[in-house]
Amino acid sequence: MNIAEMYSSLPQYRCWLNYEQFHDTADTSLEPYCRTIFVPSGFKVLQSAAAELSAAVKGAFRFSPRITERDDGACGIVLAVDEDSFPDGCDAFRISRSVDETRIYITGANENSVLYGAFEFIFALGCGKSADKIEMLSHTPNRIRIMQQWDNASGDIERGYAGNSIFYKDGKITSDFSRIRDYARLLASVGINYISLNNVNVHETETKFITPEYLPQIAAIASVFSEYGIRVMLSINFAAPIAVGGLSTADPLEESVQNWWRETADTIWSYIPDFGGFVVKADSEGRPGPYTYGRNHVDGANMLADAVAPHGGIVLWRCFVYNCRMDWRDRTRDRARAAYDNFMPLDGKFRSNVVLQIKNGPMDFQIREPVTPLFGGLEKTNQMIEFQVTQEYTGHQIDLCYLVPMWKEALDFDTFARGKGSRVSDIVSGKLFGSPLGGAAGVSNIGDSPAWTGNPLAQANLFGFGRLAWDPARTSEEIARSWAVLTFGRDSKVVETVTSMLLRSRDVYEHYTCPLGIGWFVNPQVHYGPSVDGYEYSCWGTYHYADLHGIGVDRTAATGTGYAAQYRQPNAEMYEHLETCPEELLLFFHHVPYSYRLKSGQTLLQYIYDSHFRGADEAEELKKDWESLRGRIDPQIFDEVEKRLTLQVQDAIEWRDVVNTYFYRKTGIPDEKGRKIYP
């Protein structure tokens, strides 16, 4: 028995596709339609859609529907591709009922879209919708919705908090695809259409994935994902022409290098006809890139784009670049400026099949950052937004931290690039500037744990990323509530409690960790637990500059690093001034005296004290809320979450005491409320 078979009976393994519990939630008005599924032959993705519908129906109504390609006039569900009814190139589906109410039609612009429509029908079934409320039309503005694995061939996962890789072990690619198939099902159910299979920090073994030594095995994995409409991509080593090609250079302007990449692309597509293309991390954190040869990002990206273009491939070029040898002594240098400074001069010079993959903030996935000014700056270049689903700086999937509200803030941010209403979501979709490609990337949070994500509640972030990537207009509450229903059923106390816990959790985590946008109070390397000065004198450029008088980074144009001026007006003016800067980002943009009074009337220092005491109390409240559900939730899920919430309470107390004591010792100013702070 393989691992997937061992785990498949566990509700936490099935995640939101826990069809067995649909029996208690499905509305009986849908039952007559579910006895027959009409699906045309010759479409492998439609066959997957029919299989998912069949499994969901069996869970809901305890019978297996008849699946047929012959239309015999029976009542049923019809799956069909209808290209002419949808905008060209758009992933879109429609769920409708026939006039005589004997058929439910799930139609889509392509096979993938029909599959997404089938899953939407399944979600409606699981959430108890009736037949008269089933109709809908849905389309996504984002052509690229990619999950990016940070898995290594060794089997470990960089910044992974849910066990080891489901793809690799001990330098070898797995031959057991059962769990990979279930992962493909989960991703397709929320609209993901690409996956990159390996870490962006490409090591020796993974560098060879683009060679015939490994391509047959990569192709076998790709064939599993293709059944669910997901195209495989690979993260590549920019120095691969040297490492595996036998060349003496990887200079993108050298003809021999260009030829090598073209031949490599031809080879890859000969093994994987629907291969998606390359993800590239170059000239960042020690990774090789075009700078080595005196070239720039355009030279490197376009060389690769030309190689994959004949096959319809794309290049996702990550914008996480900065001089990682910063100097804490030099306050004029600012890591936050790096993406804008590097890429703005290159706007309009990239090929049409290159997409710049830009992190939501200018630093590195902190609990609170401003949106990077590169969104709204670039106008002539394909862009997509990168979110970190894995909780590197947000609790390691021990602490509960629902990230969808943070992502919504980024997508809804108004850049004013074309006047008021120029939201980031419209930039990354290509709508605002008429870009042909764009979308969203999520750094995966799954591993081989029984619950996929370690903490079963962290599944909400995986689910939420996909739902938001498909439709950025969805609300955080809508996503949280639907996830809770699909995962736990329709017990109203469970749904309301879990939804409330999720929606509060981001603020709770922020309260007991890093105040007002400063970030980086974590232990170096591991990025878990408090260490206020852990990075303060490092080369990573993540400083808070706390002294006995104040804290924060002066990023103003007048007296600081000038970062605030990278934004368009009126945002630049808003961030420039202490009085108009949003308080949740105050310390990101300004060095502020501890005596400064916030809008609440609190001094900055008292806010820090109050926030950390409050956050520790709120963590305890989360645990109590969960404990109120004992007996209402599967015991294995309940115990796993309870264990992690217990750790979160302990961690929150540690954060509270370390941070508050740090500032008390720094300033000598006591807490106005006389609470315990250690001298």
Q: Average pLDDT of the chain?
A: 96
Q: Which CATH number fits domain 144-474: 3.20.20.80, 1.20.210.10, 3.30.499.10, 2.60.120.10?
A: 3.20.20.80
| Model pLDDT for residues 44-67, shown as the tens digit of each residue | 999 999 999 999 999 999 999 999
Is 287 a residue whose pLDDT tops 80? Answer: yes
- CATH code at 3-138: 3.30.379.10
- pLDDT band for position 1 (cuts 50, 70, 90): low
Q: Which of 71, 204, 285, 627 is catalytic?
A: 285
| Model pLDDT for residues 222-243, shown as the tens digit of each residue | 999 999 999 999 999 999 999 9
d(CA 137, CA 109): 11
* Residues ≥6 apart with Cβ < 8 Å to 502: 400, 402, 457, 460, 480, 483, 484
Q: Of residues 618 and 90, which shows the higher confidence score?
A: 618
| Model pLDDT for residues 118-162, shown as the tens digit of each residue | 999 999 999 999 999 999 999 999 999 999 999 999 999 999 999
Q: Which of 52, 111, 386, 392 is catalytic?
A: 392
Residue 423 DSSP class: B
d(CA 100, CA 201): 57
- pLDDT band for position 89 (cuts 50, 70, 90): confident
d(CA 423, CA 279): 25
Q: What angle do CA 653, 551, 663 make, to 5 degrees?
A: 35
10 Å Cβ neighbour count for 672?
A: 12
120 carries an active-site annotation: no
- pLDDT band for position 2 (cuts 50, 70, 90): low
| Model pLDDT for residues 406-450, shown as the tens digit of each residue | 999 999 999 999 999 999 999 999 999 999 999 999 999 999 999
Q: Is 414 exposed, middle or buried (0-12, 13-18, 19+ CB in 10 A)?
A: middle
d(CA 396, CA 394): 6
- Give the pair of three-digit tokens for residue 92: 């879109």
Q: Where in the chain is the domain with CATH 3.20.20.80?
A: 144-474
* Residues ≥6 apart with Cβ < 8 Å to 403: 387, 388, 389, 391, 394, 461, 464, 506
Longest Cα separation, the chain: 83
Q: Is 349 helix (H, G, I), strand (E, B) or coil?
A: coil
Residue 104: strand pairing partners: 77, 97
- Give the pair of three-digit tokens for residue 126: 């699981």
| Model pLDDT for residues 529-548, shown as the tens digit of each residue | 999 999 999 999 999 999 99
Residue 315: strand pairing partners: 278, 354
How much is the average pLDDT of 648-660? 98
Architecture of the structural domain at 475-553+591-679: Alpha-Beta Complex (3.90)
Q: Dihedrals φ, ψ of 421, to 5°?
A: 95, 10
Query: Is the C-alpha dihedral spanning 331, 392, 142, 571 positive or negative?
Result: negative
In the block, tokens 């100013």 appear at 669
Q: Where in 256-408 does DSSP place strands (E)?
A: 277-280, 314-318, 354-359, 383-388
610 carries an active-site annotation: no
Q: pLDDT at position 4, please?
A: 62
Q: Where in the chain is the domain with CATH 3.90.1330.10?
A: 475-553+591-679
The contacts found for 95-100 with CB under 8 angstroms, 24 or more apart, are 95/120, 95/121, 95/124, 95/134, 95/135, 95/136, 96/135, 97/131, 97/134, 97/135
Q: Where in 493-569 does DSSP place strands (E)?
A: 550-551
How much is the average pLDDT of 99-111? 96
Q: Which of 251, 283, 334, 364 is catalytic?
A: 364
d(CA 582, CA 565): 16
- How large a percentage of the chain has pLDDT more than 70? 99
- pLDDT band for position 285 (cuts 50, 70, 90): confident
d(CA 123, CA 136): 13
Residue 421: strand pairing partners: none
392 carries an active-site annotation: yes
Q: Which amino acid is at 209?
A: F
In the block, tokens 């990354």 appear at 428
- Give the pair of three-digit tokens for residue 37: 């599924």
Q: Is 647 exposed, middle or buried (0-12, 13-18, 19+ CB in 10 A)?
A: middle
Q: pLDDT at position 456, please?
A: 98
- How large a percentage of the chain has pLDDT more than 90? 96
Q: Where in the chain is the domain with CATH 3.30.379.10?
A: 3-138
Query: 151 near 157, Cβ under 8 Å?
Result: yes
d(CA 380, CA 24): 51
Residue 355: strand pairing partners: 316
- CB-hemisphere CA count at 13 Å for 352? 6
